[in-house]
Amino acid sequence: MSSSHPPHHLPVASLFNLIYVYLFLPISRKDVAVCLGMVVSVITISITAISKYFIDSEFVTSGEGTGYGYQMAADVVFHVCVNMIGWYVRYVGDINMRRGFLDKRGCIETTFRLKYEKEQEESLLLSIIPKHIASQVGEEVSQFISNLTNEGVTEKFSETFIERHDNVSIL
């Protein structure tokens, strides 16, 4: 090497490792992910400190300042910031996942509740009137509702379902 200054240090590999820990590993608990991120940071900073020591001993002559302490302090601040950002991203993702789950659960509960109420309505209708008249009433009501939604007709529901029967007496 022709230069007497040591090469510059860029923590790109540790950034990718921390992104992988916080975003791509399927760890369900945030505290475990933070601990793993801190372990990766400590290992990276330790390896950086050891390699920086040996590189500086090779390039720097006595009497020159190396800036070793400043570089290590910058690395520590960098790793703390990346870990905090990773925790925040995981926290926000967890909140969004919970909201999505609760919305989906509410939709499913509403669907089951609506189905249950329709079954109750049908059984109540069948307990009051015969099945053939109940089916006519159901068809007429659904047609009336579809007319209201499609055409905006405000006509009253006035269909009668009375049938005349001969040879019937009231006791």
* Residue 157, C-beta contacts closer than 8 angstroms, at least 6 positions apart: 140, 141, 144
Tell me the average pLDDT across 21-26. Answer: 85
pTM over 0.75: no
Structure tokens that stand for 43 in this block: 């290992």
Q: pLDDT tens digits, residue range 77-91?
A: 989 999 999 999 999
pLDDT of residue 84: 93
Spatial distance between the Cα atoms of 107 and 58, rounded to a whole number of angstroms: 67
Q: pLDDT tens digits, residue range 64-75?
A: 556 777 878 888
